[in-house]
Amino acid sequence: MLYHLLFPLADRHILFNLFQYITFRAAGAMVTALVLAFLVGPMVVRRLRQMKVGEVVRLHGPHSHLAKAGTPTMGGLIILLSTLVPTLVWARLDNAYVLVAAAITAALGALGFFDDYLKVVRHQPRGLVGRYKLVGQFLLGVGLGAFLLWVPLSEYAPNHTTLPFFKDWRLVVWAPLFVPFVALVLTASSNAVNLSDGLDGLASGLSAIAAATFGVFAYLTGRVDASAYLGLFYLPGSGELTVFCAALAGAGLGFLWFNCHPAQVFMGDTGSLALGGALGAVAVLLKAEFLLVIVGGVFVLEALSVIVQTSWFKVTRRRTGQGRRIFRMAPLHHHFEQIGWPESKVVVRFWILGVLCALIALSTLKIR
């Protein structure tokens, strides 16, 4: 919005020329997201407490988590507001990349909000039935894939994507599988973040790291000189996603102020589905779906731990009559809690792994 209002005044004063630069507006979006989270957060937490919208803790989970029962949840509203408002303020609103990413984030946030509402307001323990939630995520992915096929955003075919570490190779997804492929990426990313949201500050910190990393890639793919030098796809207009990613990172850090141990509020599915969907949408728009596996490496490990644990339990129960486990508890962060790591240690060490994944992803810019 500010770009459209103030940049046209650049011929009157050179100061307004700043609004043409993506880096300036990205910094503004991140600061705005942080400040907005700090201002809105206490009001949201207070309102949630008044409404007695508290977390329901599973009895078969870690015993240390029982003390968290009743902590306000649905705090993902803070993340949504602190991401979407700065994006609308600082990004160009005629940019399709930004509008699509913001729309997917809002839609998945709404889906998560409905699930949280059923669980903590309507007191339906299962919330939105799992398969219905999966269907909603998948349909949003189908909509995104169909949109990209119908309205290509660059000169590259929609079903062409990049491969990390390879400069001249690109993967061509078979056209009939492109829409299901996009739907799978979006569904997997939103669920992976959702599964990681089990410890104070874990998902919000990792999401901020991943969003900042994708912001770098968005900036580079949107510049003709940088993309040519680094052997990346040049996607005109994609640099504007830097503003969105900066707002997303700022919102994650701002929410972390209230979500760090001991948490004053949990994000719930409202926040985790929105964060995961945002990262998945950005990866698809930047044609960096496989880079998402590296950037979100910790999220991938968390999701795989659940898949492996569940699959092995079912296989061994079918073969021996008694299910066995590989991990003491899944997702992976609970396994480390069960072997005696304090919650804060698990979170910080997983953040360190998240930073390592980000550095490996950034190294793909030169190791090609």
In tens, the pLDDT along 209-259 reads 999 999 999 999 999 999 999 989 999 999 999 999 999 999 999 999 999
The pLDDT assigned to 66 comes to 62
- Over range 36-45, report the average pLDDT: 95
- Over range 142-164, report the average pLDDT: 92
**Gap between the Cα atoms of 69 and 53, Å rounded:** 11
Q: What is the mean pLDDT of the chain?
A: 91
In tens, the pLDDT along 92-150 reads 999 999 999 999 999 999 999 999 888 887 777 666 767 888 999 999 999 999 999 99
**Gap between the Cα atoms of 334 and 347, Å rounded:** 11
In tens, the pLDDT along 282-333 reads 999 999 999 999 999 999 999 999 999 999 999 998 888 888 999 999 899 9
Greater model confidence, 66 or 146: 146
Q: Which single residue is written with the structure tokens 């901020």?
A: 208
Residues 6 or more apart whose CB falls under 8 angstroms from that of 339 comprise: 328
233-259 core/surface letters (b: 16 or more CB in 10 A; e: else)? bbbebbbbbbbbbbbbbbbbbbbbbbb
Q: What is the band of 60 on the pLDDT scale with cuts at 50, 70, 90?
A: low
- pTM of the complete model: 0.94
* Residues listed for the chain: 368
Please, is 184 exposed, middle or buried when counting C-beta atoms within 10 Å of its C-beta (0-12, 13-18, 19+)? Answer: middle
